[in-house]
Amino acid sequence: MKYFLSHILCLSSFILIAQLPIDKIDTLVNSKVNYDAPGIMIGIVKDGKVIYERYRGLANLEHQVEVNEKTRSNIASTAKQFTALMLLQLEMEGKLSLEDDIRTYLPNLFKTVDDDIKIRHVINHTSGIRDYVELFDLSGDVWWKRVGLDNDDVIELLEKQEDLGFKPGSRYVYSNSGYVILAKIIEKISGQKFTDYSDAFFQSLGMDETSFIKRYMGVIPNKAAPYSDWGYGEIFHSISVTKTAGEGFLYTTLKDQLKFEMAIQNANLNGNTLLINSQKPIPNSEITDYGFGLKLDDRLGRTAVHHDGVTNAYHAQALRFPAEKLSIFIMSNNGNIRSDLLADEIASLILPPLESVTNYDTNYFEDTTSTSNIEILGQYYTKSGFLTRIEKQEDKIYFKQGNYLSLELIPENSSTFYFAGNTSEKLRFYNDKMIIYYASGAAPVYTKVDVPQASFEDIESFVGTYTNSELNLRFEFKLNEDGNLISQFSDQEGVLDVSIFNNVDLLVGDSYYIKVIRDRFNRITELKLSYGRAKNISFKKVDNLKFHPKVETENGSIQVSTIGSVNGDSSDILLTKNYPNGNEIWSRRIGGSSYDTASSIISTKDGYLIIGSTSSFGEGNYDFYVIKTDKSGKKLWENTYGKFYNDYGYTAEITVEGYRIKGTTQNCPNNTDINRTCVTNIWFVDIDKSGNELSNSVLEELD
């Protein structure tokens, strides 16, 4: 009976191989890699058995060593599934909970962050922890050039980080840092080096030729050397000098990886709960399209479990179709090809074609009558705050992000569009939002926000120096001779142009996205810089913390300043009209017998509004001082607003009724005790167009 069953299984395997388009797959592989080029290793598992195994090219060009079943290659981030698998096993053994905060094990990380940073957040990249790759790059210490870079170096860098890129669980941003942290947690729990623990783990899986890197100069038997031409047309050996582990740098053979793929496919048959659960979303997770070091979104229109990896010229792809019991694993030391694209091409040769099926979100089929004749042009933001612009150019509508992504939109009707060349993705506009309906059913929402364009005053207020103590990095915004904003990082030579999309969103060069942060007085105090996978890095403004002392006019500018008396016992406000080159056209002096100071000026339809402080007039020591002039600087009215102690006026904004004056108010317990403790609060005063007070409100205490 056993012989008969074995005979049937062998016959079944033979039929599968006979049905496999081997010639087509071989032809495809041969078209990607020449026999004398850096190599590629490909395996296919179907119904729990290896049905295709192919080696082509060279592991070492210098010595002309061919890749074979003994060749070990670096599978980069495809290794993350194994680190996550170790964490899942530790949880099943009761040694940790995926709900544990990472600081239970690594208390020196993110000490000032109040939110829970759970292990599961780290596993599926929803932790907000910034990627060390970009952090090192920003600090001028590029990771792949740093000899001997290891997990301790990464942890040391992360311990300097005072905040996260976003609230844990609120969004997904891929982070290699997280998997270095997970490796450290495994060390804490096991009491072993991560590389020793993982060696034993791989041996338990029967993967004896698989291990994470231990020494960057260490000998790895049968190691494939990585090569690429990097676009220069000449092959180079890409030397690696780092030794981080957990997020990548796993050296393995195709034989070992195919053992694992067979174990995954046979997990249900064998009742292997660990492997079964590892292919599913993480319990309690806020997202379902990334799990235990694996992507869980569809490929080729089918349910898939997969992950790719790229490090220097090494790359790999694990692609599984659970319903079809088909797995494709590719690894390569040839940086000139894409293993992920090749895996899709091979899968397309094996799997039967699918009918084109659209599965739009149900909202797509709602009546669109109410969405007709709306204004679609404008600025739209994702939930994470990323800006998309819908603009019109030469009678065409474009979807724009940054400086280079510009996709033409083709109308189906007044509110529904599709991307030129892609009719399956539909964009529908509503009064306050835009939704992109994908054929897969995804329907991300973009909220329309009327963000003001950057004014002359805004651009001048951008100028200054910004610092980040965590990276020991600063950069400057300044104006060039043409009046354009440029930037320079302290660790880089040369300057970068700044694209100004509005008064909140900037792009430095092609890579650094900036969000402008203002205080309650509309002063720029901070910038949030996002670079690749490192989101919302805080850069504090250390100079030029001005209000708005100047406004642009048609033929120059109007500016306010404070000038002192000859004796220094008083000061006045000076209003100056200037030519574009800064030369004075006229000036007006405003003030009383004591100290009067100017903070800012705003332009109105019929003139200007000056905001400052006075001890010449009013009721207290200092009061808000507001002066309204016409376009020629002639005073129309002036008024003060204040209480007994010090009240300072800083800025104003135009309201429906008139103006809102913003400043601070001081409150003290008495006027006699020199040791008294006074409190300063933010204070807003609403006035009408003639300067009459309408209301006032005391806000939070000033930091």
Distances (CA, A) of 536 to 489, 513, 586, 620, 641: 17, 9, 44, 42, 39
What is the per-residue pLDDT across 560-580, written as a single tens digit (0 to 9) for each? Answer: 999 998 888 899 999 999 998
Helix (H), strand (E), coil (C) string for 566-627: CCCCCEEEEEEEECCCCCEEEEEEECCCCEEEEEEEEECCCEEEEEEEECCCCCCCEEEEEE
Q: Which residue has the higher pLDDT, 483 or 176?
A: 176
Neighbours of 142 (CB within 10 A): 12
- Asked whether the predicted pLDDT for residue 4 surpasses 50, the reply is no
Give the CATH number of domain 362-448; options: 3.30.750, 2.40.30, 2.40.128, 2.30.38. Answer: 2.40.128
**10 has pLDDT over 50:** no
Per residue in 488-522, pLDDT (tens digit) is 998 888 899 999 999 999 999 999 999 999 998 98
Which ranges constitute the DSSP H helices of 295-374? 339-350
- The mean pLDDT of 442-456, rounded to a whole number, is 94
Percentage helix, strand, coil for the chain under 3-state DSSP, each rounded to 5: 20, 35, 40
pLDDT band at 617; cut points 50, 70, 90: very high
Between 546 and 634, name the one with better pLDDT: 634
pLDDT value for 9? 38
pLDDT value at position 7? Answer: 38
- The domain defined by 456-541 folds into Lipocalin (2.40.128)
pTM attached to this predicted model = 0.89
pLDDT band at 452; cut points 50, 70, 90: very high
Residue 44: both structure tokens together = 């296919």
List 416's β-bridge partners, or say none: 428
- Residue 8's pLDDT is 34
H-assigned helices in 247-364: 254-265, 267-270, 273-278, 339-350
Q: In which band, very low, low, confident or very high, does the pLDDT at 11 lie, cut at 50, 70 and 90?
A: very low
Supply 637's token pair.
């009215």
CA atoms within 13 A on the CB side of 30: 6
Span(s) in the chain for CATH 2.40.128.50: 456-541
- Cα gap 121→105, rounded to integer Å: 15
The pLDDT value given to residue 230: 84
Residues 53-108 have pLDDT tens digits of: 999 999 999 999 999 999 999 999 999 999 999 999 999 999 999 999 999 999 99
Q: Is the pLDDT of residue 2 over 60?
A: no
Residue 216 CB coordination number (10 Å): 16
CA distances to 210, 246, 330, 477 from 75, in Å: 10, 12, 9, 41
The boundaries of every CATH 3.40.710.10 domain in the chain are: 53-350
CATH fold of the domain at 53-350: Beta-lactamase (3.40.710)
Digit-coded pLDDT (tens) for 172-216:
999 999 999 999 999 999 999 999 999 999 999 999 999 999 998
For the residues 323-330, what does the mean pLDDT come to? 97
Average pLDDT value for residue range 133-144: 90
Q: Where are the beta strands (DSSP E) in 621-670?
A: 623-630, 635-641, 647-654, 658-667
Q: Is the pLDDT of residue 601 over 80?
A: yes
| Position 359 confidence tier, pLDDT thresholds 50, 70, 90 | confident
